[in-house]
Structure 1
């Protein structure tokens, strides 16, 4: 399948495969946050758009667009494609994404902030766009969460994260509740996992040498069931998201 990006400005959009690193995860002891595979994979799950210029933005608590002030590190960067602006009001900071995306029929684009990104004083807003037919651009918006709290974005920092999603995704699923013991194989594997986790946690608290050396259980990370058998054949510990290539002349 093809995902096509059409630039709408003379500058090439600063779009890249999503960065797997997060500063707060780097800062955890021994970077242990990366041991959580669901977190690590979510970080990589798509593409991200970066801001071309460093700036500081502040909201004074009002509802007018002018109630958000933006101070750029270099004044002339205000005119760069992808620079932020405040045109909606209500404490919203907007990044115009100067490109169109085209997905295959039946596929939307989910756009949000950097996965597992944390920013004090502001939060990303998420949207879903029908990019298989719409000839309209979309914006990435953030909303301030507190007045008079300056928010800093560095040049090259990710401000948007996007990936395709099927439009009929939820129509295809039939949510159902059931009793776990009605699925004997899953029940057995779950009980093995629960008992193993409790035992490992106990040994870790007691500073049992093997548990301390191992530090964390790696069965899910390795794609193994609690009994040691292989899980899904296509289990992933890393995503290989391809970059957008410039068209050949």
Structure 2
């Protein structure tokens, strides 16, 4: 099957019920709970939150690791009872690793890998998502999403529908094609001046924050980066404040694939 340069396929290989794949959303509970939602003022953070697609957890369960490296050292209790067991959630590798089978086979355009990881900036106490980079432009196989429990005898709860995997396309070989160089900033006079202007602007702004009724105190934070503007007022040629990824749709249709 010929594939266009911008086509990204998710082939259903097995039961996809309760495991929809959707665009990653910007919101995070801990960011909502931050003081005056300050966390959302960090544009790099919010862009990362949206930079891929997420797959939902197929079931609700509590997992506990007894510290042994055996597969039997991981206990999975499904809620509300064992009759709700989901065979896609299992202990396969041992060493306190929870495995969730991903029912999709992804096919990316030629030269594009898929970075598989946990949802950006989303945390689960006692469990760490394991990350991998897969050559999905040729591999005729699925992969599993794995979470490593980080300490024994600490129950960790997963809820059906919560994002448990994030997939991010990335160009293969890009990092290897770069020619890294390290040098003092003074070697680039224009950049050195820009850094100086930025530092002075930041220092002046922070000082003015402590002045009651000042414009800076009313603003609360500098927005130059969010606006794509340097301290001198020069605007960036390209700048993103949000991402608008497309949802997966059935071929020949503009309708989003409904969650299963």
TM-score, shorter chain, exceeding 0.5 = yes
Aligned to 1:241: 245
Match of 2:85 in 1: 78
SS at match of 2:227: coil
**RMSD of the TM alignment (CA)?**
1.6
Q: State the distance in 2 between where 1:66 and 1:207 align.
A: 62
Could you tell me which residue of structure 2 aligns to residue 31 of structure 1? 37
Cα deviation code 1:186-239 (max 9, x no counterpart): 111111111111121222245462222111100000111111111123x11110
Specify which of 158, 176, 183 is matched with residue 178 of structure 1.
183
Count of residues paired in the alignment: 246
For 1:247 and 1:32, how far apart are their aligned partners in 2? 41
Give yes or no for contact 2:24–2:51 (8 Å, CA) kept in 1: yes
Hey, what's the Cα distance between the residues in 1 that align with 2:237 and 2:153? 49
Residue in structure 2 matching 1:202, options 193, 204, 207? 207
The match for 1:122 among 121, 127, 135 is 127
1:113 equivalenced with 2:90 (yes/no): no
Q: State the partner residue of 1:88.
A: 93
Q: Deviations over 1:125-176 (max 9, x none)?
A: 1001011111111111110111111111111100011111111112210000
| 105 and 202 in structure 1: CA distance in 2 versus 1, 3 angstrom threshold | same
**Does residue 4 of structure 1 match 2:9?**
yes
Whole-Å separation in 1 of the counterparts to 2:157 and 2:89: 12
- Contact in 1 for aligned 2:15/2:103 (Cα 8 Å): no
Superposed CA offset, 1:2-24 (max 9, x none): 11110112435411001211111
Aligned to 1:135: 140
Q: Is the 8 A contact 2:211 2:217 kept in 1?
A: no
* Aligned-partner SS, 2:167: strand
Indicate the SS of the match to 2:225: coil
Give me the TM-score of the superposition, normalised by structure 1: 0.94
Cα separation, 1, equivalents of 2:235 and 2:83: 56
Q: TM-score, normalised by structure 2?
A: 0.90
